Structure 1
Amino acid sequence: MKHIKILRLVLSLSFIVIFSSLATAQDLTQNSNNPQLEMAAKERVQKWERELSLRAKQALLMEKKFVEFDIKRKKLWKDNISEEERLDRLKNLKILETREVRDILTKPQFDRYLLVLEEEAESTAPPQDDGK
């Protein structure tokens, strides 16, 4: 049961990030010099600055990390693979991104980061069918 909840959380978070970054991109093959990707990353970092009281260096590192993973997600959407494989890779990318963000944040900041992500995922996740 716990694994299903974690998987649901990861998939929901992946979809949130994917759709928010797809909305800001013109070309999936552009590199990190894409001002729209950088602008979207800055907006996400501003949210986390408010939530986590980030230091300037942390904010810069998170912005770079967000751009890096947005580029990877965009490339993945362009790959000619099955939807199941794409979802699996997106899930793995989100896990890797979260691990790398953990290296940027302090323990209390990271705990808060996970809590906020979980709250966002629960608020955007489709309702579960209880089988009744």
Structure 2
Amino acid sequence: MSNRSALLIALAGAVKAAATAAGIPAGNQFENRTADIGSSQLPALNIRRRSDGGLSEATSASRTRRLELAIDLYGNGDSRFDVLDAVEGAITTAVLALKENLYYVVSVEVATDWDLEDLAIAYAAARIVVSIDYIA
């Protein structure tokens, strides 16, 4: 199995386990979903690959590549912010632990962008962007 395949499996497993522990049911965890997520499926998450390629600053002989994923979180109801905060924290911890557990991971960066955080709106959405540099 290639390092890329092993990384994707480990990352998806870590994210889904963290999300389940933080309160998102396994049935509401999606990969590369393009259809809208209905209110009956909230809270939910969707893991989507943004890019996977060589580093722009690397030489052509370099085996280091960068995988970028977007993990979109959706919540609703009065506890939506508490649930999403818990999920975000659990996922961030799990993703950062990958560097310690996988020898071929060079670096991990995690950033969060709250797309919609308004007390007057019944749902909230956040995006966690994960960038992982790894040896191919």
**TM-score for the superposition, normalised by structure 2:** 0.34
Greater share of residues in strand: 2
**TM-score for the superposition, normalised by structure 1:** 0.34
Greater share of residues in helix: 1
